[in-house]
Every structure is written in C-alpha cells, then in structure tokens.
Amino acid sequence: MSALGGLTVAVPRGALFDDTVDLLTELGVDTGELRTNDRKLLFEDIGVITMRPSDVPTYVEAGAADLGITGKDVLLEQAAQEGGWGSGPGRNVYELLDLGYGRCTMVLAGKAGPDPAAEALRRLGVMRVATKYPRIAARHLEQTGRQAEIVEVKGSVELAPLAGIVEAIVDLTATGTTLRENNLVVREEIVVCTARLIANPVAHKLKAAAIDELQRRVRALPVSGGAR
C-alpha cells in the first residue's frame, strides 16, 4: 500500500503547493516528480492529482479524489449563501483538519487617508467593492449592515480603488506588502484562512480506515498538526 494508504489526494498548485508537497513528503510520499514536473497533472503512482486551489472542492465533491487540500477562503467562497436559494451546506465535502499553513487574512482595504467608503456610504448610500471573492464580500458587508455594489475582478484587485472604480477591496493578504506598495490600508479583518484537509463524503465512509489513519498521521506531525 502506498504512503497515502491507497487514497487519491487533490493537491493545489499555487501558494499552498510547496507546503502541501512538504506535508506529503513528511507522510512518506515520493514527491520528487511532483516537485520537478509542473506540467503533469495526474501522478497516479503516488495518488496525487494537481489543480488550481479553487478546483479542489469540485474534484473532491465529485469523488475524483478522496481527499483534497485547499484554502479556507476557497471553501468559504464556494459555500452557499445563508438563506434563500441553495442555503445549507455549500460544497458537499467533509472539512476534516485545519492544516495550519498558508495562513492569510481576508481583509477589507481601501486607500490610505480619509476613508472614501465612509463618504460614499454617507452621501450615496452604497459603497463599491472590488474582489475576487464576491460571496465572502457580499456576506461580510450584509452582516455588518452596509449596502454595497460588488465588482468582481479576475486580476490585480489593488488596481480597482487606485483607478477609482471602487472605494474598497476585499482580498486575501499574507504580509500586507502588496497593499502597502499600492498605498492601501487594511480597514477591517474579515476572517483568517488556513489550508484545510477536505474529504469526499462517500470516501469518508467507504475508506474510513485509510482516511482515519492518514488524519492521525497528519495530526501527529510536529508542524501542521501542532499549529492547529
């Protein structure tokens, strides 16, 4: 049986990739090819498939991977809105463990100096917010009782307030460097996000022993397990 007990794991490319590969290495997975070949997607011999972090819940929910690792930001964004259409659990996956790494904060930020969002709210009754996380942004502003117009962007969110199309942004920040370089300041912290281990609900039952064993070994690791 392989180091992952025959399980298939969806591994996120991008910011969480290096820490995730380190975790797999500590679990005894031969990650040599995974580290060096960034074009290959399917590493069947070690039970790994790689993809964008935001696709991880999709593949795990469909059962193409038994387990997956992705950021809490992705899970929050893909969770259904409270109430109304599609309320209840969002993605049909189990969230098993907080892996502790990839720590970032979802923040509401705006231009330094007098807050243009406050002025917009006072004079126009609505603030405009650019984000790659429209649901998290909408939920936060709704819960804090502010009317907002959400502008969804795909590229650098920092551009939007500088170009004057919005008064604030909602984005993930690890060190705050990018915000500072663009003369933006954090106005509110919304939620702290770390990497999470998720599981397919059917695999969680049919492969219970293998999943529990892997979870136990991850918890026993000094770095990720202890950081919880």
Partner 1 sequence: MIHPIPSGTRDVLPDETREARAITDALRGVFERHGYGEVYTPALEYESVLARAPLAEAQPAYRVFDEAGEVLVLRSDMTVPIARVVASRYATVEPPLRFCYFAHCYRGVAPARGQPRELLQAGIELVGAPAPEGTAEALTVLCRALDATGLKDYRIGVGDASLYPALMASLQVPENAREGLMRALVMRDFVELERRLHESGAAPAAVELLLEVPQRRGGPELLAEGPEQAAEAVTGLRRLHELLEPGVAARVIFDLGLVRNIGYYTGAVFDVYDPALGAPLGGGGRYDDLLGRFGRSLPAVGFALGIDRLHLALAGEERGTGALLAHALGSLGGDGELPGPGVGSSATRGSGA
> What are the residues binding partner 1 (CB under 8 A)?
1, 5-6, 8, 49, 61-66, 80, 84-89, 92-98, 196, 200-210, 212, 228
> For partner 1, which is the closer residue by CB, 67 or 157?
67
> For partner 1, which is the closer residue by CB, 39 or 85?
85
SS3 (DSSP) at 13:
coil
Task: Give the integer Cα–Cα distance in Å for 121 and 82.
Answer: 24
142 membership: H or E segment, kind and range: helix 134-143
Task: Give the integer Cα–Cα distance in Å for 193 and 174.
Answer: 10
The nearest distance, CB 120 to partner 1, in angstroms, is 31
The nearest distance, CB 167 to partner 1, in angstroms, is 30
Q: Distance between the two ends of the chain, CA-based, in angstroms?
A: 28
> For partner 1, which is the closer residue by CB, 151 or 210?
210
> For partner 1, which is the closer residue by CB, 80 or 185?
80
Q: Partners of 152 in the beta sheet?
A: 131
The nearest distance, CB 44 to partner 1, in angstroms, is 9
The nearest distance, CB 98 to partner 1, in angstroms, is 5
How many Cβ atoms from other residues are within 10 Å of residue 52's Cβ? 12
